[in-house]
Structure 1
Amino acid sequence: MAASTKNILIFGATGLIGQHITTAILDKKEHFGRIAIFTSENTLSTKSEEIDHLKSQGVEIIAGDLTSADAVKEAYTGFDTAVSCLGRPVIHHQLKLIELAEQHPDIKRFFPSEYGTDIDYSPASAEEKPHQQKLKVRALLKTVKALQYTYVVTGPYGDADRGLYLSARPSEDEAVGTFDVKRKRAVLLGDGEGRVSLTTMRDVGKLVAAALLHPDAAKNKALRVNSFTCTPKEIVHEFEKQTGGGKWDVGLTPLDKLNELEQQAWVTNDPKAGTLTLRRIWTEGGTLYDQRDNGLIAMEDGVDSLQDAVAQAIEVQIKNS
């Protein structure tokens, strides 16, 4: 029988996706016992308002060095479940977190920071450069004996924040894909007809919380979940409807051009290289499954629609313009 989830320790709780996951867990806090975050001393000062808000909701704040084994072991005491929301630049630190979790008598379940593209979608996935650190995490978890785990695989984030799928990009960078509300300009990837599964960040949080509440269904599994599946053309049509009904200026970045941009970026050490690889994977169909796993954790309903995601994206873009 899978371990139940009572006391939760969250790593990376104040980051881009961590905020949404922490919020969703707090929305279900009546089902849990202690909820705590492990964060750095620097975060306590640079994000003091956010930390104070979490404290006001009953969240315990544990400050320490993520790279200190002693600090992590002490933090684990009294918690049965660890949820990692670490971002890609520090995702390798999960290897030590997992090793320490398996050795700790209290920790029974570990949720690695898997949110995003499926790193085990096909045999080709093992060679994709952005997947390498997450693949090491999965390889390690296959060897653990005393620790259960759940991968929450969501596909790309259907949001307009910080260069995400529904964001507006500068005109000089729009070949990577853009949905620009101010300019009413979109550049779609591939032929615009290829289906892609998106998950809004607030749904990522809800799906993680649901997985925590369904330990038997989530035990030692990769849950492939999402908010909705659509084509880029359907997305731009929804933007057109919600911005007055007029036609947008629409361009395409064909798959062969996307491949070319990706290869050039890796050769020149362009910071966009990883983004281009992920967008090429999505355009090739790397988010599509015969069946999604939302139903396993009682989340077939209650997730965002394309209409919801576009409405939120418009709001974010207008706010940030």
Structure 2
Amino acid sequence: MLNDNSILVLGAGELGMAMLRSLSRRARHADNVSIAVLLRPSTISSENPVRQKNVDELRALGLELVAGDVATQTGAELAAIFSRFDTVISCTGFVGGSGVQRKIAHAALDAGVKRYFPWQFGVDYDVIGRGSAQDLFDEQLDVRDLLRAQSRTEWVIVSTGMFTSFLFEKSFGVVDLETRTVNALGSWSNAVTVTTADDIASLTVEVLFTEPRIANQVVHIAGDTVTYREVADTVDRVLGVKVRRNEWTVPELKRQLAEEPQNGLRKYRVVFAQGRGVAWDMNQTFNAKRNIGVCSLEEWLRNNLSDAPLASG
């Protein structure tokens, strides 16, 4: 059983809410597990209907709401909050810009938490390496270096690939359902690993509670690993259309980035087009080795976008 009974989740966005729901379900079958969530004071008191709904749900689940802000508070202030808890799971995303992920990691270590799951729910930054087109990734490597350089706090990094929903964000530019277009990043044979937020949450909770205990390692999970050709074929098959297919080569994507060097989405496109650290073998994942069911790309598409509006041309 899990010995570290008090758990603090940072953030209640898409992944944070999924994580808190999953933890709450699991805590019903565990001994003396308490769950809290760090929210901005403005979120707790917000009159925004969506935020109100989330806060009401968290209260209904019996979770403790802790006021705090990882972007604006100092590391010492965050450490004082974290020190009450055995385990901290960061679901913040890249909130607050440069330096925040390092600050949170330092705060977790300074607080002496027993176990820390940093915000690394994405690509494999070790494989991508430093100096990539997406400069935020270097900070993720700084966090890994920091955690690996100490032994007081156990850490677990969960590599998930891209959130499945992000693959279909029009702004990202891979799948544009309105114009029936799929753009391959790099080449049609390039692969990408995708995982839904719900699967990321449930599998992270499974990692948290697994015995023998998982500590001080990177754990790879995946909902699906697909080539861009398979993405286009899946859209065709599920939606009953024939998408237009464009291949965006690395030189072309670098040229686009040079036109807008601060465009975060263009930075991401270059990294994914280069094809390193963004996909892994499904058979080697934590979920596959334990025969845990996950949501495939096709299943997600059928569940979420089968009624999506499509251009007539």
Q: Given the two structures, how large is their TM-score scaled by the length of structure 1?
A: 0.82
Match of 2:121 in 1: 115
DSSP-derived class of the 1:260 partner: helix
DSSP-derived class of the 2:28 partner: helix
**Residue identity (%):** 22
Match of 2:269 in 1: 276
CA contact (8 A) 1:130 1:274 kept: no
Q: Report the Cα distance in structure 2 between the residues aligned to 1:78 and 1:265, rounded to whole angstroms.
A: 44
Shift of 1:204: 1.2
Closer, same or farther in 2 for the Cα pair 1:59/1:114, shift >3 Å? Answer: same
Counting matched residue pairs gives: 297
5+ residue gaps, structure 1, are 170-175
DSSP-derived class of the 1:19 partner: helix
DSSP-derived class of the 1:138 partner: helix
Q: Report the Cα distance in structure 2 between the residues aligned to 1:316 and 1:211, rounded to whole angstroms.
A: 35
Shift of 1:50: 1.1
DSSP-derived class of the 1:218 partner: coil
Q: Report the Cα distance in structure 2 between the residues aligned to 1:310 and 1:90, rounded to whole angstroms.
A: 31
CA contact (8 A) 1:10 1:82 kept: yes
**CA RMSD across the alignment:** 2.6
Moved more, 84-93 or 206-215: 84-93
Match of 1:292 in 2: 284
Shift of 1:18: 1.9
Alignment of 1:179-190 (within 5 A): 179-190=175-186
5+ residue gaps, structure 2, are none
Task: Supply the AA of the counterpart residue of 1:219.
Answer: A
Alignment of 1:54-65 (within 5 A): 54-65=58-69
Q: Report the Cα distance in structure 1 between the residues aligned to 2:60 and 2:148, rounded to whole angstroms.
A: 38
Match of 1:173 in 2: none
| Candidates 241, 244, 249, aligned match of 2:237 | 241
Q: Report the Cα distance in structure 2 between the residues aligned to 1:213 and 1:307, rounded to whole angstroms.
A: 29
Match of 1:30 in 2: 28
Q: Given the two structures, how large is their TM-score scaled by the length of structure 2?
A: 0.84
| Candidates 222, 227, 242, aligned match of 1:231 | 227
Q: Report the Cα distance in structure 1 between the residues aligned to 2:93 and 2:308, rounded to whole angstroms.
A: 23
Q: Report the Cα distance in structure 2 between the residues aligned to 1:193 and 1:205, rounded to whole angstroms.
A: 29
| Candidates 41, 46, 56, aligned match of 1:52 | 56
Match of 1:136 in 2: 142
Closer, same or farther in 2 for the Cα pair 1:193/1:70, shift >3 Å? Answer: closer
Q: Report the Cα distance in structure 2 between the residues aligned to 1:296 and 1:110, rounded to whole angstroms.
A: 24
Alignment of 1:1-321 (within 5 A): 4-12=3-11, 14-32=12-30, 33-46=33-46, 47-66=51-70, 67-69=73-75, 71-90=77-96, 92-104=99-111, 107-122=113-128, 125-128=129-132, 129-159=135-165, 164-169=166-171, 177-214=173-210, 216-243=212-239, 245-266=240-261, 269-281=262-274, 284-289=275-280, 292-295=284-287, 298=290, 300-314=291-305
Q: Report the Cα distance in structure 1 between the residues aligned to 2:17 and 2:308, rounded to whole angstroms.
A: 19
Q: Report the Cα distance in structure 1 between the residues aligned to 2:69 and 2:307, rounded to whole angstroms.
A: 33
Shift of 1:236: 1.6
Encode CA deviations 1:56-96: one digit per residue, 9 max, x unaligned: 01111011343245643443354210001122143633434
CA contact (8 A) 2:184 2:229 kept: yes
CA contact (8 A) 2:163 2:194 kept: yes
